[in-house]
Structure 1
Amino acid sequence: MKILDWYILRRYLFTFFSMLLLFIPIMITVNLAEKIGKILEKEVPFWEVMEYYLNFTIVFANLLFPIFLFLSVIWFTSKLANNTEVIAFLSSGVSFTRFLRPYLIGASIVAAIALLLGLYLAPKANTGFNEFKYKYLKGRAGVQDTKHVYSQINDNDIIYVSSFNPSDKSGRNFTLEHFEGNELKYKIFADQIKYDEKDSTYKLTRYVKRVVGQEDDSIFIQRRMNFDFKFNIEEFTPVSYAAETKTYSDLVRFIEREKKKGSSQIGRYEVVKYRKWSLPVSVFILTIIGLSVSSVKRRGGMGVNLLFGISIALVYVFFDKIFGVMAEQSSFSPLVAVWFPNIIFGILAIYILYNAKR
C-alpha cells in the first residue's frame, strides 16, 4: 500500500477503536450505577462482577460495532474534509474510487473482527452475561421468562415444567408423558427436577410414576429418585437468550432440532443466526455512506456531518429493530427481516457514492 492508504487506514482504525474505548466505559458506568444496589445487597464476589462486565463489553461491542464504525468514519473523514486534505488527495489525480480503497481495507479488518465476535466470542460472553443476570440481578423475576415450558423430546416423550431456573438448572412441577402411538403408557410427576452436572443425572423430588394398565393403573411413589433421562438440559433453556449463547454450528443444529419439535421460537432463533452474517456486511455499507456524506467540506462544518450521520444511524437501528421484532412475533421471514435494512442502506450507499464521485 502507498502512503495515502496507510495514512487513511491508520486514521480509520485508530478513530474506531478510540470511539469504542471511549463509549464502553460510559456504558459500563451507567449499567453499574443501575445495578450496584443489587450487587452489594447480594454480596457478589468481586471477580464475578469483573467477569460480568468483561462479558458485558463483548456483548454490547458486538451489537454496536456498525454504529460505532459509522460515526468514527464520519468523524475523521469530516476532519480530513475541513482541513482540505480530501481536496488535496483528489486534486493530485487520485480518483474517488481509489480514495475509497483504504476505507474498504479498514472495513474488511473490522468486519473480520465482527464476524469472529459473532460466531465464537459473543456466544460465550452471552452465556456468562445472562447467567450472572439471572443469578444476581433478576432473581425470581428472571424465571418469568421460562414459565410453562413444553417440549417434545422425541417421538414418544413430552416433558413439561411450570418454571425453570437457569442459574441452578432446576425446574418445578415436572411432568413426563410417554406415548406409544396415540396411547399413553405412563406418566411421571415430580415437585422438582434438578440437573446434577457431576454425574450428568436428573434428581427428582417427590417422584410419582403412574403406569396405565388395561383395567387398573399402577402408581409408584418415591421421595427422591435419580434418572438418566435422554433429553438435554437445554430443553429448558430460557427462550429469551437460548440462541445468543451458541456458536454458529451449534446454533444451526439447535434450530434444526427445534424445528422438529415444532417450537414457536424459530423466528427468533433464525434472526440471531442471520445477524451473525449481516452485521459484518453492514460494516462495508455504513463505511461507504459515512465516507460519501462527510468527504465534502460543508458550511456547517463537522457538526452537520455528525448530525446527518447520527440521523442515519438511528434510522438504521429503527429498521433493524422493527423488522427483527416482526420476524420474532409473526410469520414474517427472518431472512428478509435481517437483510432488509442492509438492502435499503446498500441502495442508499450506491446512490450517495455515485453523487459523491460526481
Structure 2
Amino acid sequence: MTDERIVVVGAGYAGLATATRAGRHREVTLIAPEERFLHRVRQHETAAGRPEHRPALADLVRGSRVTRVPAEVTAIDLAARTLHTDTAGPVPYDVLVYALGSRTAFHGVPGAAEHSYPAERAAALHRRLAASLGPASLAVVGGGATGIEMAAELAEAHPEHRVRLLAADRVGGWLSARGQRHVRRALHRLGVTIDDGRTVTAVTPGGLETDRGPVPADAVVWAASMEPHPLAAEAGLDVTAGGQVVVDDHLRSVSHPEVYAVGDAAAVTLPGRGALRMGCATALPMGTYLGRVLGGRAPRPFAFSYAAQCLSLGRRDGLLQLVRADDSMRPLVLTGTPGRLVKAAIVRAVTPRS
C-alpha cells in the first residue's frame, strides 16, 4: 500500500540507510533527536581531537521523501501502533522500523558509568585531555576493535600521556595469528602498554580496581562491549536474552509483523553465517535491504556474507583482516599504509546517503 505510514526510529547506519532508500519511492518519517549523523566508527578520532566528520541529517536525506522529526521516542504502544515522543507528541504508524541500535554496556561494574568515558562521550574525553596540564595516565578497558582503535589513536595524538590497554581476555584475540601480531606490534610502537587477562571489578575517580590489583589512571576509557537499546523490550516486542528484537528472514519482528528491526537492534541468524555481530558492517546492509523492500522491491529473504574486518591503528597504520563468509579468520591480512588506506576508504563509504 503506497499510503502506508512508514516511520523509522533511529538515524544510525541502519536507520538512515532504510529511510533514505525507502524514501526514494515512499513517504517516510524519520524520528531522531540529533541534528547530525554520529559516525560511531570514527569516535576514536573525535577523542583524539581530530576533525569531526558529522554531516547534517538534513543533507543526508535531501532529495528523498523523508521527513525528519527532531524528537526522542520515549515509548512504543504496539497495540495502538503509536510512538510517544518527548517533544513531538504521538506519532502513529502502519509500518515501524526499529533502528535504535546499541550503546556502551557497563555490565553493572561499580563506578563504570560514573567515572569512565565510553565512545559516546568521545568529545568530552577530548576536552578532558586538552585540559591536562601535564602528562596523564589513560586506561582503556576493552581489547576489541573499539578499545584497540581508541588506545592507538590516543597514544599517537598524545605521546606525552601514558596509555594502557586492558582486556579480560587477549587484546585482538579474535584476529588471525598474523593480525594479532601486527596489532600488538603497532600498539607497542605507539607506546601503549598491553595488559591481557585482567578483569576490571570497579572504576573509581583514581582509576581501576581489577582482579590483579589496582590500576591508577587519570582518565578511564570504557570500550568493553555494546548492548541494545532497552526500548524494544520495554514495549513488549519479542527480544533475546540480550535485548535484541527477534526477527524472521525478512527482518520482521516475529511477534509484531508490522514492526521491522535492523542494525544492532536486531537478532539476525542466517544459514551458514550464524548470529550476525553488531557493527556497521552488518547494519548498513540490513538498512539497504529493508529500504529497498519498503520502497517496492519484491521481498526476498535478507542475505549477507562477511568479507573483511578492518582496524585503524593511528594515522599511519591500519589492518585489513580478510575473513570467510561466516566471519571466521583467513590467514591473509593487509597492514601498514595499504591497510590504513583501505580502512579509510571503507569508513568514507559507510555514511548512508539518499
TM bin (shorter chain):
under 0.3
Q: Which has the higher helix share?
A: 1
TM-score, length-normalised on structure 1? 0.26
Q: Which has the higher strand share?
A: 2
TM-score, length-normalised on structure 2? 0.26
